[in-house]
Amino acid sequence: MLKPANRWFAWFLSSGCILCLLYLLVVSGDLAWFSLHNAPPAWDQGDHLTKAMNFWRVWQSTDRFSPTWWTELWQQAPTQRAPLVYLFTVPILQWIGQSFPIATCVNFLFTGILLVSVYFLGKHFFSSKVGVWAAIFCAIAPIMVFLRTDYLLDYPLAAVVTFTYLSFTKWRDADRHWQRWLWTAIAGVALGCCLLTRTSSILFVVIPLLWLVGGTIWRRQWGRCLQLLLLFAIAWWTISGWFTTNWLTIVSTTVESNAHGKIYRNDPQANSLSGWIYYAQVLPEMFSPVLFFACLGCWGIFLGRWVWQKFPLSKPAIEDESKDATALEAIQPASPKRRTWRWLAVLVLGTYLLGSLGANKQPRLLLPYLPILAIVLAYGFTLGVGIWWRGFRWLSVALATLSVFIHQFPISAGLGIVGQTHFPYTGAAYPNAEVIRTIQQQQPYLRSTLGVLTNTAELNPMNFDFFGASMGFQVYGRQIGFHPEQAEQDARSLNWYVTKTEDQGAYGSIEAGQVALKEKLERSSDLQIVQQWKLPDGSQLRLHRRSQLPITVTPLQGNPESAQLQLISVNVPQQAQSGQPIPITYTWQGNWKTLKNSIVLLTWQQQNGTAYWIHDHAIAFGNLQQNLKAEPLTGEFRVVESTAMLPPKSLPDGMYLLKATVLDRQTGAASPLTISSVPIQLSGQTQRSVQTQISAMAKASPMPELDLLTQLRQLSMQLPLGKIDPVFKQLAIINQYDPDQNYVLQAEQSLAYRLQQISASDSNSLTSLYNLAFSYILQRKAPQAIATFTRITQVADPTNAWGWAYLGFVHLYNFQPQAAEAALEKAIALNPNIPELKTLRIVSAAMNFNIPLAWERYQAERKPSTAGRK
């Protein structure tokens, strides 16, 4: 009998060497494809790459032991598209480079995981030979080959799910006590990694998990039940940081992703017999038609022989090629036990059935099914012995490899290739990077948002956003023009737009909005085309810029650096009307660090009175940003802000004077700012002189758009009234204008300071409290939101049911169901007609593990006219 060291050496010389060679061939083929490909990433690919770049940006911070750093890190993946692949991409972006092909090299890691996991599963179920052939099948399956050269989550998910199946199988069949505990820990981490790759992975693991739990309880293996509890605890520990930070958006986007298929794809197969057999129909194309039917043929022949009992499967012939025990195992397929077949059937059927539930039918969505199917097919493929069967196997693999090769590489245009191809793009480069570079050159000191109207695979908001991130995080791409009625607002809210002649590429429900917005941009006298690029299809890509930029930054050569911020001038009409926007221009001066770190608290105070309105904001409204890859800036700069402010309609008439305080965003220190007197005469009824003055200003330049902090203040005033839907509908629009929602953080910092200075009797305190609480909610800062809503409900607005409802919701978000229940009971006592309260109370009862009460409330919601309050 061979010693353990000798057995490992013999394994490496046989199967291990084959796996290493297979891996090297796969990586070499993928690198060859990358070297030819010259196209930018498409929609989903661009979105994934931008998220990976965001993780890389956060990773540059050195404060990695701070809880706020971890919160910021997890917030980079707030949806069902979980962070594992992005985190694994960070070292590649850090050490190799930041491009589409380089980032896609992360798939080399998952290729290794996939091939090793498939091999050991095949070996565990059958033999080393089956494991090797299953690994070869996964290496040359067309869908695997195509997805390996793309930056999507499906290929990594298939690798992680296959490794999870391996860990479940090893735990299930482990004989020794210490092995079971070891595989318990490994399976827990693997299960957590599945969910950290994509939440849809639960569809592929839930049935095997239920089978393991049910079988363990049925056999009363209480020690293994304890191991399963530990497995789930480790899985929860693995995902807890990400999930607890984003659980609401994770759940909502997981639900919406299934609805997306129904709304946008309108797949009639989703809930029909054709929907359930859809993946069975496309399996040959996914797996390789040659290999799929060759394997089915082998299975058919040997099942037929087994039925006629001519060549029983339990006693297969052995090729007399080697007397070595390891080599013998490699060529001799074992006869699996019934228990093994049952478990294999659970993996195969469970994965297919739940994987077919989604309304969105795409072959890549069932990719985790392919490796386990490859093992079953490989077993049938290896049943035949003799030189003819060996020749048949190698001929089948050679034809399958040739087929995928000519579908992956454009060898000859005259081959008459049939079926899906995945050729590298070798034509002229697209100008995505040039667009970003042009914006950076014209606004080198500012963060810019590019409104993207084009929506093709090569030119879309997602890949423009990625190019902006990879070129220093100074330009962000955002899709706008979702609805025709939104076109007017979109056309005046950004400084940069990109359009395309001929076909824009828009589709579905957004097409009308894109057309309306494009017409407005082309007719606008306030926009100019700064550059055009000819595209490979003959059309033109056009970059539009606002003629008069609302924010300008000018370096002051020769000026000594000063630590003090200065307000050089304020240009504002002498008279204005309350409740109407007022154009205003601020000119600031200071060094770069002071300008970037300052929030100015601007108070327009009534002369000899207590009324006032505020116009707080960061310098340049938070848009001061240097290219992340450039050297730090030094010297003095001048910043000019042309914007508009909105005094409340309820303000009394009179003279108002400007007062200013500077708040340091880093330290929280505040200091008064010395300024000259800036008066505004405010009146409720517009006088003719005021109309004439504002009309003259409007003729000279269009009225600037209200800044986003002012818009946020206006939206938060609707919260006490319960107007949630219109608030979040408008919020979704303006969030496109600020790529990282910095305006929300500005609102939080300015209001938190102001509320420390004013009394509860101040007429603005309630509005400011709702505004502050709203900013906390938008940043998912649950503890701070709870404290603010507690102050609202206890002191500022105790009789408003909506305040209590918001408090209950935030408690639920923070996993505090008992406190939520108390707040929701108070809300329903004040106003039982709020429909949202019913849903929140059902969730509250469920989170308190009071399932009967949750069910009772659910039934009461379905029959509101006959059921009483529970």
Distance CA 79, CA 153 (A): 13
Q: Which of 624, 563, 585 is nearest to 746 (CA)?
A: 624
In the block, tokens 């994770």 appear at 250
All domains in the chain, ordered by first residue: 4-39+83-242+269-397 (no CATH), 432-546 (3.40.190), 551-706 (2.60.40.770)
CB 507 within 8 A of CB 463: no
CB 568 within 8 A of CB 554: no
Bridge partners for 660 per DSSP: 602, 673
Those residues whose C-beta lies under 8 Å from the C-beta of residue 775, and which sit 6 or more positions away, are 712, 744, 745, 747, 748, 751
Distance CA 631, CA 536 (A): 36
Q: Which of 636, 658, 638 is nearest to 647 (CA)?
A: 658
Torsional sign, CA 205, 206, 207, 209: positive
Burial group, residue 437, by CB count within 10 angstroms (0-12, 13-18, 19+): middle
Q: Output DSSP code: residue 639.
A: E
Q: Which strand (E) or helix (H) includes residue 511? A: helix 511-523
In the block, tokens 């009071």 appear at 850
CA-based diameter of the chain, in Å? Answer: 108
Those residues whose C-beta lies under 8 Å from the C-beta of residue 761, and which sit 6 or more positions away, are none
Task: Summarize the chain as % helix, strand, coil (round to 5).
Answer: 60, 10, 30
Torsion of CA 783, 784, 789, 795, to 10 degrees: 120
Q: Which of 215, 244, 241 is nearest to 228 (CA)?
A: 215
CB 195 within 8 A of CB 251: no
Distance CA 233, CA 669 (A): 44
**Cα 854 from chain centroid (whole Å):** 32
Q: How many CB atoms lie within 10 A of CB 195?
A: 23
Amino acid (one-letter) located at 816: Q
Q: Which of 236, 215, 230, 186 is nearest to 346 (CA)?
A: 215
CB 587 within 8 A of CB 657: no
Amino acid (one-letter) located at 33: W
Distance CA 770, CA 757 (A): 16
Tokens for 777, please give them: 């909610």
Q: Which of 788, 786, 848 is nearest to 817 (CA)?
A: 848
Amino acid (one-letter) located at 745: L
**Cα 576 from chain centroid (whole Å):** 44
Tokens for 860, please give them: 């009461």
Bridge partners for 603 per DSSP: 614, 659
Q: How many CB atoms lie within 10 A of CB 811?
A: 26
Distance CA 113, CA 129 (A): 18
Distance CA 288, CA 399 (A): 10
Task: Give the pairing type, strands 679-683 and 575-577.
Answer: parallel
- pLDDT, residue 10, reads 59
Tokens for 383, please give them: 């049943």
Distance CA 841, CA 835 (A): 11
Q: Which of 519, 555, 549, 593 is nearest to 439 (CA)?
A: 549
In the block, tokens 């229940």 appear at 821
Q: Where would I find the H helices in 12-95?
A: 17-36, 43-59, 67-74, 84-95
Question: How big is the chain, counted in residues?
Answer: 870
- pLDDT, residue 700, reads 45
Distance CA 757, CA 490 (A): 37
CB 279 within 8 A of CB 355: yes
Distance CA 135, CA 345 (A): 19
Those residues whose C-beta lies under 8 Å from the C-beta of residue 405, and which sit 6 or more positions away, are 411
Q: How far is CA 474 from CA 320, 440, 506, in A?
A: 67, 7, 26
Bridge partners for 540 per DSSP: 534
Distance CA 499, CA 846 (A): 49
Q: Which strand (E) or helix (H) includes residue 683? A: strand 679-683
Distance CA 47, CA 460 (A): 10
- pLDDT, residue 6, reads 58
Distance CA 597, CA 620 (A): 11
Distance CA 806, CA 797 (A): 12
Q: How far is CA 781 from CA 712, 765, 772, in A?
A: 17, 21, 11
CB 162 within 8 A of CB 368: yes
Three-state SS at 578 = coil
CB 355 within 8 A of CB 367: no
Q: Output DSSP code: residue 278.
A: H
Amino acid (one-letter) located at 688: R
Global confidence as pTM: 0.90
Distance CA 362, CA 188 (A): 29
State the distance between the two ends of the chain, measured CA to CA, in whole angstroms.
72
pLDDT < 50 regions, the chain: 262-266, 268, 311-334, 414, 686-700, 865-870
CB 792 within 8 A of CB 766: yes
Distance CA 722, CA 701 (A): 37
